[in-house]
């Protein structure tokens, strides 16, 4: 038994039929949406941009009660610099022209605080006649703070990289200044016969280290130049296979000292590429030098050149000590070394330079290794037709 003011509970459908919900009236649905949106503001405007209704989370978001804001232009919510640029009127013009205008910008609360708001304004039309606007807004100040924090971190990282490049640029300059007199002094001593048999060994070590340091400083200078955007390429057309054989001949004496078997395999016909010949020499030399350095005496090294579709491919494979799997994702990063205390005269610049030079040519480089003790294979791909022939 129910009283007149009470509603009777719904009668279960007969024969197990599924109950159908009563459709919600669209006007009622709009009211429910405004009432049940705790973080979305709905603002109705007339055609001139004056507030006519203040719904949803508008009061909580901006601090204005409806009586305070109705009758005022929506412009009061915009910051002074945006009002000076005429952006409130522009937003309405865009909405009328394109039916909708979207923006993310700073807005003002009644207490003067700034909040980052994402908004969408829709131009309302009735029978083709423009009758007003509705603007839907949400507070995203926390998201904006995250974006600014990320931007600040990126800027800090960018500044740190520039500072690093400047430091290494000065370091290269100073080390080269020191190596010049050292090399000249060693050469004068050898020329004048001042190096006795007893000192021949130590003098040879000094000369070798000077040459090694000069090469390392040259590589580091190239990395710094690339980071500063100053790396330039002088491209010409040449036979890559012939150049590969020339480079192999340069390192052959170094490989012979460790009894390495170096096999050079190139196509029987020319492989014409458009690239910087000197930079290609640097790429291949660095990969060969690494293969020799990290391959035990008596090992084997293969230098191969081939063509795959629209790329010339250079592969350097060895039977060396291999690469730890954890280093494979970062092997081309600057200063990456598996064991810095046993780096055999390097400090992780060569492969970074290889990557930069290959990328500058529009190519890419990768490495394959099945684990420690299984050797490694580096592959360089250079486009055959880069589109900017010399």
188 with 244, same domain?
no
149 domain residue, yes or no? no
Q: Which residues contact 53 (CB under 8 A, 6 or more apart)?
A: 42, 43, 44, 66, 70
49 domain residue, yes or no? yes
For 158-178, give the DSSP string.
HHHHHHHHHHHHHHHHHHHHH
**How many domains are there within the chain?**
3
247 with 359, same domain?
yes
Cα 371 to Cα 160: distance, rounded to the nearest angstrom: 34
150 domain residue, yes or no? no
59 with 91, same domain?
yes
201 with 249, same domain?
no
Q: Give the domain-ending residue among 89, 104, 139.
A: 139
273 with 366, same domain?
yes
373 with 242, same domain?
yes
Longest alpha-carbon distance in the chain: 125
4 domain residue, yes or no? no
244 with 222, same domain?
no
Residues 57-89 pLDDT 10s: 999 999 999 999 999 999 999 999 999 999 999
Better pLDDT: 115 or 338: 115
Of 134-138, 141-145, 345-349, highest mean pLDDT: 134-138
Cα 91 to Cα 100: distance, rounded to the nearest angstrom: 9
Q: Give the domain-ending residue among 227, 246, 280.
A: 227
Neighbours of 155 (CB within 10 A): 10
**Buried/exposed 162-173: b ≥16 CB within 10 Å, e otherwise:** eeebeebbeebe
Residues 173-223 pLDDT 10s: 667 667 777 777 777 777 777 777 777 777 777 776 777 676 667 766 666
Range of the domain at 296: 235-383
Cα 241 to Cα 65: distance, rounded to the nearest angstrom: 79
**Residue 388 pLDDT exceeds 60:** no
pLDDT at 347: 46
94 with 197, same domain?
no
> Residues 377-389: what's their mean pLDDT?
79
């Amino acid at each position: 038994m129910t009283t007149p003011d009470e509603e009777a509970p719904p009668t279960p459908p007969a024969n197990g039929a599924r109950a159908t919900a009563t459709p919600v009236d669209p006007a009622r649905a709009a009211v429910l949406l405004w009432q049940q949106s705790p973080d979305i503001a709905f603002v109705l405007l007339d055609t001139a941009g004056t507030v006519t209704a203040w719904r949803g989370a508008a009061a909580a978001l901006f601090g204005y009660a409806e009586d305070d804001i109705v009758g005022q232009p929506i412009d009061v919510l915009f910051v002074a610099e945006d009002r000076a640029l005429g952006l409130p009127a522009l937003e309405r013009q865009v909405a009328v022209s394109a039916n909708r205008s979207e923006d993310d910008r700073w807005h003002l609360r009644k207490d003067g605080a700034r909040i980052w708001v994402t908004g969408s304004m829709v131009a309302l039309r009735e029978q083709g006649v423009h009758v007003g606007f509705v603007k839907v807004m949400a507070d995203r100040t926390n998201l904006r703070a995250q974006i600014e924090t990320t931007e600040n971190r990126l800027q800090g990282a960018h500044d740190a990289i520039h500072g690093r490049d400047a430091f290494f640029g000065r370091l290269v300059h100073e080390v080269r200044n020191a190596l010049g007199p050292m090399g000249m002094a060693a050469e004068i001593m050898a020329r004048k016969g001042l190096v006795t048999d007893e000192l021949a060994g130590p003098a040879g070590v000094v000369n070798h280290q000077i040459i090694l340091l000069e090469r390392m400083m040259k590589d580091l200078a190239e990395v710094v130049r690339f980071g500063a955007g100053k790396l330039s390429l002088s491209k010409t057309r040449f036979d890559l296979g012939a150049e590969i054989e020339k480079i192999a001949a340069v390192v052959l004496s170094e490989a012979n000292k460790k009894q390495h078997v170096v096999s050079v395999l190139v196509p029987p016909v020319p492989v014409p590429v458009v690239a910087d010949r000197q930079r290609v020499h640097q790429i291949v030399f660095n990969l060969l030098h690494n293969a020799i350095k990290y391959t035990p005496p008596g090992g084997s090294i293969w230098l191969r050149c081939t063509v795959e579709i629209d790329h010339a491919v250079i592969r350097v494979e060895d039977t060396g000590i291999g690469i730890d799997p954890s280093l494979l994702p970062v092997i081309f990063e600057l200063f990456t070394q598996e064991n810095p205390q046993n780096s055999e005269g390097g400090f992780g610049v060569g492969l970074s330079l290889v990557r930069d030079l290959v990328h500058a040519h529009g190519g890419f480089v990768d490495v394959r290794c099945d684990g420690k003790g299984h050797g490694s294979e580096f592959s360089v791909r250079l486009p055959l037709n880069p589109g900017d022939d010399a």
